[in-house]
Amino acid sequence: MTFLATIGSFIFSMLAEVGRVSIFARDAVIRGLLPPWYFRQLIDQIIRIGYNSLPVVGLTAFFTGGALALQIYIGGTRYNAENLVSSIVALGITRELGPVMAGLMVTGRVAAAIAAELGTMRVTEQIDALTTLSTNPFKYLVGPRILAAVITMPVLVGIADIIGILGGFIVGTTSLGFNYAAYIKNTTDFVEFTDVTSGLIKAAVFGFIIALMGCYHGFNSKGGAQGVGRATTNAVVSGSILILAANYALTSLLFSE
């Protein structure tokens, strides 16, 4: 009975958390979209979330593209399919690895930073202070962060796609002996517009998840420094899991025949 009660209690608390996140997401979207808008905050967040994430996302994409080219070449030689390296690198990066790797890296950087910042604001009463100064914290803090993440993630993933394919190209042409022109021709011939757009759609959804998790856990943090630390960890863990789950759901949806 105790075992069943534990399972039941876990399920109830999980459902309650899902409910709280859903209400928070609804409020964030509705209140974030209605005026007044805080453009200064939005620009600031676009720089923090997008521009400042470029180095980490670019390096991740570059090395992922290079490693992917090596793996496909090594695996492909078993079936005399080495020529597929360029096309599989391009497909793998644009459809899956570009958005997922960028999403996970930005979760580690941005969701953690948002949760820590809002969590500190919560425990030092800065969020309460906003309310007493006639400023809705949802509009001032949550709305701009979510909007900035939804706008910048597709741009980041677009850049990650280019850098990832470039990584595969450099490894393919320098280490694996592919011809420059043939590699580029195989890539451009094989990749379709929808391969790129599907990745960008995923990126926008991932951006929403990253900012939502950062804001939700930060906004609801309590208990001083330990609470802020817990909020940061929860934001990164829940953001990463939700990105992987959303990636599977979106792949099923976007590529179903």
What is the 3-class SS of the chain, one letter each residue?
CHHHHHHHHHHHHHHHHHHHHHHHHHHHHHHHHCCCCCHHHHHHHHHHHHHHHHHHHHHHHHHHHHHHHHHHHHHHHHHCCHHHHHHHHHHHHHHHHHHHHHHHHHHHHHHHHHHHHHHHHHHCCHHHHHHHCCCCHHHHHHHHHHHHHHHHHHHHHHHHHHHHHHHHHHHHHHCCCCCHHHHHHHHHHHCCHHHHHHHHHHHHHHHHHHHHHHHHHHHCCCCHHHHHHHHHHHHHHHHHHHHHHHHHHHHHHHCCC
Minimum CB distance to other proteins smaller for 34 or for 241: 34
The window from 129-137, 145-153, 212-220, 247-255 that contacts other proteins (CB under 8 A) reads 129-137
Q: How many amino acids of this chain bind other proteins (CB under 8 A)?
A: 14
- 52 contacts other proteins (rule: CB under 8 A): no
String marking each residue 108-127 x if it binds other proteins according to CB under 8 A: ------------xx--xxx-
Minimum CB distance to other proteins smaller for 131 or for 226: 131
- 17 contacts other proteins (rule: CB under 8 A): no
- 133 contacts other proteins (rule: CB under 8 A): yes
Burial of 227 per CB tally in 10 Å (0-12, 13-18, 19+): middle
- In whole angstroms, how close is the CB of 42 to other proteins at the nearest point? 14
- 129 contacts other proteins (rule: CB under 8 A): yes
Amino acid (1-letter code) at residue 230 = R
- In whole angstroms, how close is the CB of 130 to other proteins at the nearest point? 8
Euclidean distance between CA atoms 176 and 85, whole angstroms: 10
Applying CB under 8 A, among 80, 132, 252, 256 the residue interacting with other proteins is 132
Minimum CB distance to other proteins smaller for 185 or for 222: 222
String marking each residue 69-108 x if it binds other proteins according to CB under 8 A: ----------------------------------------
Q: Which two tokens stand for residue 76?
A: 């492909």
- 216 contacts other proteins (rule: CB under 8 A): no
Minimum CB distance to other proteins smaller for 129 or for 182: 129
Minimum CB distance to other proteins smaller for 46 or for 171: 46
Q: Given the structure tokens 């790797």, which residue do they identify?
A: 101
Applying CB under 8 A, among 2, 134, 252, 256 the residue interacting with other proteins is 134
Footprint of other proteins (CB under 8 A): 120-121, 124-126, 128-129, 131-136, 140
